[in-house]
Amino acid sequence: MFDLDGIYNAQNDRIWAVDRDEADKKGACSKGLTPLIILDEGTADHQRYINEVLPVALKYGNQVFGDNWTFQQDGAKPHTYAVTQEWCRLNFPSFIDQDHWPPNSRDLNPLDYSIWDEFGQQIDWAKVT
């Protein structure tokens, strides 16, 4: 999950919609749309993240990119938990662990910086509620 400002929030980031049918059911990557995982109840702790989110990311990544892709996360607590880091090391073809994340630099951190300008330009703001 992410927000358009790229600002870290220790709480869960949320996108509000009038009803579930209005919510966008797909995410975006360089190869097109990705499945969106909607967690109906509770918070996304490390166990839910490992059981419900990471397998979907792994399956999609492997289908689209084969075995030649790298998975990187941000600093959310479920992402930095030791068990999560180990799961990612053991399952993804390539994984940038938290000890090797780049510093906060627009040139070095593609997840947190380079995509936001593109999102901002591509969003049809008239349809955003």
CATH code of the domain containing 109: 3.30.420.10
Once rounded to an integer, what is the mean pLDDT over residues 79-103? 90
Quote the pLDDT of residue 103.
63
Asked, for residue 34, whether it belongs to a domain, the answer is yes
Helix (H, G, I), strand (E, B) or coil at 13: coil
Q: How many domains does the chain have?
A: 1
Q: For residue 127, give the DSSP letter.
A: G
Asked, for residue 13, whether it belongs to a domain, the answer is no
Note down the domain range covering 98: 20-127
| Residue scoring higher pLDDT (54 or 118) | 54
Asked, for residue 74, whether it belongs to a domain, the answer is yes
Asked, for residue 28, whether it belongs to a domain, the answer is yes
Residues 5-18 have pLDDT tens digits of: 444 444 444 444 55
Angle in degrees, 0-180, between the axes of helices 82-91 and 54-65, rounded to the nearest 10? 20
Closest CA to 117 of 2, 17, 1, 6: 6
Residues 15-66 have pLDDT tens digits of: 445 555 554 444 556 677 778 788 877 788 999 999 999 999 999 999 988 9
